[in-house]
Amino acid sequence: MNIKEMEMNNMNQDILRFSYSGFQHSVLYSKYKLHSNARNQPIFKFKNFVVSPGSRSIHVDGNRVSLGSRAFDLLVILLSSPGSIVSKDEIFDYVWPSTVVEESNLRVQMNQVRKLLGHFGEVIVNVPGRGYLFVAEVTTEWPDKEAC
């Protein structure tokens, strides 16, 4: 990240750096605004879930379900790095930017995410002292530009 990107990141707390491993046998780094147009963000798919950060929606078996905004952001940051540990500091910086919160807040939001996932809740693994790991296979799809 160069100086200009760091300045832009400091100005807009909604920017997140996503990384996708396995994309053309390399790592792809891109930036997406969480609340920007949906065509600028991938749609995450795993099991019977479809998560669209652009429209801030979650569908399970084709039916839209609701999840609080902090829990939604927590799920998005985990989905953005499947198979990689996301540190608690990264989670706090993303889900609660410019806010000091207790670790219990993270546990409450994680419980909400796991409750939504139901019996798939085990796809989120707590790595003691390090953070959280999303272990299910996640595919990404880019929305059709004409549809946005």
pLDDT at 145: 55
Stretches in the chain below the pLDDT threshold 50: 1-38, 147-148
User: 57-92: per-residue pLDDT in tens?
Assistant: 999 999 999 999 999 999 999 999 899 999 999 999
Residues 66-76, buried b or exposed e (16+ Cβ, 10 A)?
ebeebbbbbbb
pLDDT at 39: 52
What are the tokens at 48?
Answer: 């019977």
pTM score over 0.75: no
